[in-house]
Structure 1
């Protein structure tokens, strides 16, 4: 069985795929290893993060926290009335609403809660080739969770 950390990442990425589908964007990718091409925009991407220092151990249950980032890269479509700022904001709202949804902030019982931890300023500019205008943003999150001591694959308690 996968570690609780990996189970959390899979659940978060499933939410990002649902956001992509709801926004009708082209791509959702986890830990991209290649630059995203123009044909892959508008895109959401997830970067796995590391574990923060454990908060404690009590009764055989360890409290942990894992970080991850969600980014978006959009291509302006002025002919359709979709400016870069509006596209970045739509992605921001959809990601925040999906990950901080009070009805599933515990990811089906995997985590105690997900928290927004900040992120980058939005960036806008011209693509390296051509006249396309693009925008981007990265949002940082953490998720607190419990594991059984000696079993990283089991949610505690």
Structure 2
């Protein structure tokens, strides 16, 4: 492979990793925001709020991928299997990092929904999680895993 072709392939891998991570971030952000908002509103403990947010992040992440795959004509059952293979590690890393960062920010988990601290902390935590997850997705894609399994069905 020429040096130019090698750099083009590497760039495509990073572009695909960024795209996959943005897709992952969308599902995670929806789940995180809903989970944190519900948990905060109901006065749930930090652990219960995080558990709810993580559960919803996985649910929305898988649902977004499965919906894309179903649009290609595959049945839901197969689309869900593809989503599980494509997204599990990416969502897990994103959620782990996101919630560790959120817990590390003083007052973030105690701030109410009307607080700028709540929203800025959540946005910052998701941004850090995105940066950490891009190389994970790049690694998966380079090995024919993660979102590399999804385009074959488009």
TM-score, normalisation: structure 1: 0.35
TM-score, normalisation: structure 2: 0.35
Greater strand fraction, Structure 1 or Structure 2: 1
Q: Which has the higher contact order (CA 8 A, sep 6+)?
A: 2
